[in-house]
């Protein structure tokens, strides 16, 4: 299981996100982001090479705080083949040295582990504690399993989130793994051109001054395109 180091990160996560968020098509803030941490969870990389965190931050730049879900991966070297849109920035970790911080929707390790979570093959971990499971993260898959050999065909962000298009090389089907960005209630239907719901991951986040709320962090739908 992942070890959470009690050390410095310079620049910090919120500073990196504040510089990156305004360029995203799903960001609806006003001016410079005013961010605060608001929960999340982690998944383990079986190889122990990539840190995987599903972060929630609230942005108060437009008045009422808006919760955003930003999955990130932390790597000790650049991700080969990743475009400029995938990189959030770099930071100096007090123990591990330089870390390349990526938008997790563009990282194949995060995609694989998120699918493993949906299929019951991965256990969610607490965001800030080592070796601690997080039982508040719920996942379910209602459709046919996505084959383990399913390949990422494209990653595209829009105003409703980031869609990872997956396809079975054998031609049996294709699916859209959507990373929800502006969080809504877990029972609310997705917006945009989404097909039938086949799977979902819900988790808790902490609204400022209120009780924890459950929201849908990711969903799988039958793809409407190939």
Instruction: Quote the CA–CA distance of 166 and 175 in Å, as a whole number.
Output: 5
pTM more than 0.85: yes
Are 55 and 37 a contacting pair, CB within 8 Å? yes
SS3 at position 168: coil
User: Which segment of 5-14, 102-111, 112-121 scores lowest on mean pLDDT?
Assistant: 5-14
Band of pLDDT at residue 208, cut at 50, 70 and 90: confident
pLDDT for 30: 77
> Whole-number mean pLDDT of the chain?
88
Q: Is the pLDDT of residue 191 over 70?
A: no
Mean pLDDT of 20-27: 94
59, 34 contact by CB (below 8 A): yes
Half-sphere exposure of 5 (CA within 13 A, CB side): 10
Integer distance in angstroms from the first to the last C-alpha of the chain?
36
What is the rounded distance in angstroms from the CA atom of residue 57 to the CA atom of residue 23?
16
In the predicted structure, residue 107 carries a pLDDT above the cut 90: yes
| CB-side neighbour CA atoms (13 Å) of 25 | 10
> What's the token pair of residue 156?
């595209």
Give the chain's length: 226
Among 71-75, 114-118, 122-126, 218-222, the range scoring the smallest mean pLDDT is 218-222
Query: How far is it, in rounded angstroms, from Cα 198 to Cα 176?
Result: 10
Q: Enter the DSSP assignment of 145.
A: P
């Amino acid at each position: 299981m992942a070890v959470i180091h009690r050390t410095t990160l310079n620049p910090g996560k919120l500073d990196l996100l504040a510089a990156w968020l305004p360029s995203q098509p799903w960001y609806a803030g006003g001016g410079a982001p005013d961010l605060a941490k608001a929960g999340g969870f982690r998944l383990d990389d079986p190889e122990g090479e990539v840190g995987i965190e599903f972060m929630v931050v609230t942005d108060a730049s437009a008045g009422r705080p808006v919760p955003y879900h930003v999955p990130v991966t932390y790597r000790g070297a650049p991700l080969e083949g990743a475009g400029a849109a995938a990189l959030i920035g770099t930071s100096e970790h007090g123990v591990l040295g330089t870390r390349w911080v990526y938008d997790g929707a563009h990282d194949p390790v995060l995609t694989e582990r998120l699918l493993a979570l949906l299929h019951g093959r991965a256990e969610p971990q607490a965001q800030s504690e080592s070796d601690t499971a997080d039982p508040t993260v719920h996942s379910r898959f209602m459709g046919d399993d996505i084959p383990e050999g399913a390949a990422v065909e494209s990653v595209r962000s829009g105003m409703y989130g980031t869609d990872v298009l997956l396809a079975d090389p054998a031609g049996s089907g294709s699916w859209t793994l959507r990373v929800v960005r502006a969080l809504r209630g877990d029972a609310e239907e997705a917006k945009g051109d989404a097909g039938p719901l086949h799977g979902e991951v819900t988790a808790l986040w902490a609204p400022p001054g209120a009780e924890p709320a459950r929201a849908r962090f990711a969903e799988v739908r039958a793809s409407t395109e190939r």
